[in-house]
Chains A and B, each alone.
Chain A
Amino acid sequence: MALEPFLRERLARKPLLVMTHVVCGHPSFEDNLRALEVMAEFDVDMVELQFPFSEPSADGPRFVRANQLAIEQGVHTRDCLAFLARAAQRFPFKLLMMGYYNTVFKMGEARFVEQLAAAGGSGMIIPDLPLDEAGELRRLAAERDIDPILLMAPTNTDARLARLGEAARGFVYAVARKGVTGGKTAMDEALDVFIARCRRATRVPIGVGFGVSSRADMEFLRGRADIAIIGTAALAAWEAAGEAGLRDFLAELLGAPQGQGA
């Protein structure tokens, strides 16, 4: 099923969906797999698999380190695609490639889309590829039912948001604040206004990410956004205490597991 209908169907029974994040090969693919199992226990709806890149200039310190360590361990694009294929077989949630444009560009857009589709990926989140440069990739992706996810930012003008909203497929990734990944985001009036601006600009579901890390954040997002995007905080939990750490973190955030795991 394509991404948007999948999300719509889930939104009919859950008020706020969840997308989580793992950095491929960090600390290892075996750890990644165990992390995904925990995420499945909590009935997470989507997971973005970050393909490590040597120049992750939109990421904060924790993801920067994770990218670097993964590369040092010899993680290649083909390993990430193979892992995605394995995960797609095993879990009910949708999987998205997340990474930087050079990873796609270097393999060749057509080949990358082909392999991502063959592996069972549903979308791609590429923060350094603006809409204006994404024409050919979007055309190729559309042919293979892959949704290139667009980001919306609080610094965007209404005109820009409208353009992005019009072009959006799958869902929109609303960046909750200025800055890089990690760190704290104030769940406040300004964010409320921004989410409302995004909502007016598009008809696809809206995910909100950057700094989502507590139960209070989830409560704030419920009724405002469609998807809570959890990145750095989950990696921090894993790095601090592995599987148990991630489970405790997700339990705190989402309540007890729904028991619909793999």
Chain B
Amino acid sequence: MSARCRRPSPMSVFDFPPGREGYYGAYGGCFLPEILTSTIEELRECFRACKADPAFWREYVEVMQSYSGRPTPVTYLDNLSRHLGGARIYVKREDLNHTGSHKINNVMGQGLLCKRLGKTRVIAETGAGQHGFATATMAARFGLECKIYMGAVDVARQRPNVFWMENLGAEVVAVEDGQRTLKDAINECLRDWVTNMADTHYVLGTACGPHPFPEMVSYFQSLIGSESREQIQRLCGRLPDRVYACVGGGSNAIGIFQGFLDDEGVELVGCEAGGLGPGPGGHASRLAYRDASLGVAQGYKTYFLQNEDGNMLETHSIAAGLDYIGINPILAHLWEQGRVRFEAATDDEVREALRLVMRSEGLIPALESTHAFARAIAEAPTMARDDIILINQSGRGDKDIFTVADAIEDRAWKAFIRTKAEQYGA
């Protein structure tokens, strides 16, 4: 077994003190209706057994290698580094996974776990559609029935992923409640789960929600961090100075950060959706801006964008996958401990960064991932030339073609869509 197949070593954040299982400092926990108590206990037990079984991890790594193309490479961005004139920039290429993002890591892991649970049906929420796409793929591969809940707003802005999910055999439900985005899709999954838990596993897509989800999703995503650490050392002979990752719910970030948590010299930077800038309602930044406060919703305790009654605020981001009210409780804890720095990138900064990365390197990061690029691009020039930056490119941007075409006012694309519409007939 090569070093990059190594099972995650138990890290201090997951060593819960007695009576505090599922808590990271003040954050996390498990707040679910009584009807799910047995289901979540069954899941906790199964995850515990999987963690204790080296064969489970081996099978997981084998699946990720043969099915998703892992390990994903780390790419040096020479043009961009020179253009910015500061630190050397490296990128972890999660976009090269099957289905185009890091979401598949978590999904295949939970799929194997689902088989152990003996459940025959999976449900999932999705924002950008990447998690839903990955789940539909896994369900097809493992022969599971699959239903995806997606906010109606996101269905409208991420049609290409909906198309693939449906063609992979999943049923996609457009959620019309609330703000009709990711949080509403999570509520709908919880409603399905309280009804169908006997045969259904809820494949939560990010490191949020009730324990054991934050820990379990982090466990599967830790592949990103352990691979990256080894790769960057091989390429540079040392560890990076800073690691950047975008933070929606916070799964790709905790995935890559886990590789460096114990390395004090490595600064970890979480990049949130700054949307239209600070002020309630215009963004989805829970920690970098000061509009969020501690709350309990969707099964866990963390910082939420909410009002004084505890009702959730509108959120906004150019990236559907970052457009969420809450944040990974492990990251909230690491932020409070001063281990992870939080920053936000606005929609405008993201559009600029995307253009620059496409033109200078021929990479098309997802709008979500571009938030991490935007912060790295802002900070790189202030760093020394032998400093090293590692960015997690959590996904590829093909899915964003409609949003990006709108954002950059691409006339040729609009003409093409008009022609296509005419061909389909009015």
Contact = CB atoms under 8 A, between A and B. Distances in A.
Given A68-B177, A106-B306, A178-B194, A55 B312 contact: yes
Interface string A52-91: 1111111011001100100100001100000000000000
Interface string B276-302: 000000000000000001111111000
A124 to B, nearest CB: 15
Contacts of B33: 58, 127-128, 151, 153
A175 B309 contact: no
A178 B38 CA distance: 12
B197 A178 contact: yes
Contacts of A76: 309
Contact of A160 (B38, B194, B306, B312): B38
Interface stretch (A9-17, A95-103, A222-230, A249-257): A95-103
Nearest to B311: A54
B195 interface: yes
Contacts of B39: 155
A64 B297 contact: no
A129 B312 CA distance: 18
Contacts of A241: none
B35 A155 contact: yes
- Say what secondary structure dominates the interface of chain B: mixed
B295 A106 contact: yes
A101 B296 contact: yes
Contacts of B36: 155
A179 B33 CA distance: 11
Given A102-B297, A130-B37, A151-B34, A58 B309 contact: no
A180 interface: yes
A129 B31 contact: yes
Contacts of A102: 295-297, 304, 306, 310
Nearest to A175: B35
B194 A130 contact: no
B34 A57 contact: no
Contact of A133 (B31, B38, B190, B191): B31
A258 interface: no
Interface residues of B, number: 37
A218 interface: no
B177 A64 contact: yes
B178 interface: yes
Given A101-B296, A179-B194, A160 B309 contact: no
Contacts of B194: 58, 178-180
B34 A152 contact: yes
Contact of B195 (A61, A106, A180): A180
A156 interface: yes
B375 interface: no
A64 B177 CA distance: 8
A57 B298 contact: yes
Contacts of A58: 33, 190-191, 194
Given A71-B311, A130-B32, A133-B31, A155 B38 contact: yes
Contacts of B298: 55, 57
A156 B34 contact: yes
B372 interface: no
A235 B140 CA distance: 41
Interface in B245-290: none
A18 interface: no
Interface string A132-158: 110000000000000000111111110
A160 B38 CA distance: 9
B187 A55 contact: yes
A84 B325 CA distance: 30
A55 B183 contact: yes
Nearest to B184: A55
A220 interface: no
A196 to B, nearest CB: 18
A119 interface: no
A153 B198 CA distance: 14
A53 B177 CA distance: 13
A54 B312 contact: yes
Interface string B170-208: 000000011000010011001100111110000000000
B190 A57 contact: yes
A164 interface: yes
A6 interface: no
B30 A130 contact: yes
Given A55-B298, A57-B187, A133 B29 contact: yes
Sorted nearest first, the 3 A-B pairs with minimum C-beta distance are: A106-B310, A102-B310, A153-B35
24 contacts: A52-B311, A54-B311, A54-B312, A55-B178, A55-B298, A58-B190, A58-B191, A58-B194, A65-B177, A68-B177, A71-B311, A101-B296, A105-B296, A106-B295, A106-B309, A133-B31, A150-B34, A153-B37, A155-B36, A155-B39, A156-B34, A156-B37, A175-B34, A175-B35
Interface of A: 52-58, 60-61, 64-65, 68, 71, 76-77, 100-103, 105-107, 127-130, 132-133, 150-157, 160, 164, 175, 178-180
Given A54-B306, A153-B37, 16 more contacts: A53-B310, A55-B178, A68-B177, A76-B309, A77-B310, A103-B309, A105-B310, A127-B33, A128-B296, A128-B299, A130-B37, A132-B30, A133-B29, A154-B35, A157-B38, A178-B35
Interface of B: 29-39, 177-178, 183, 186-187, 190-191, 194-198, 293-299, 304, 306, 308-312
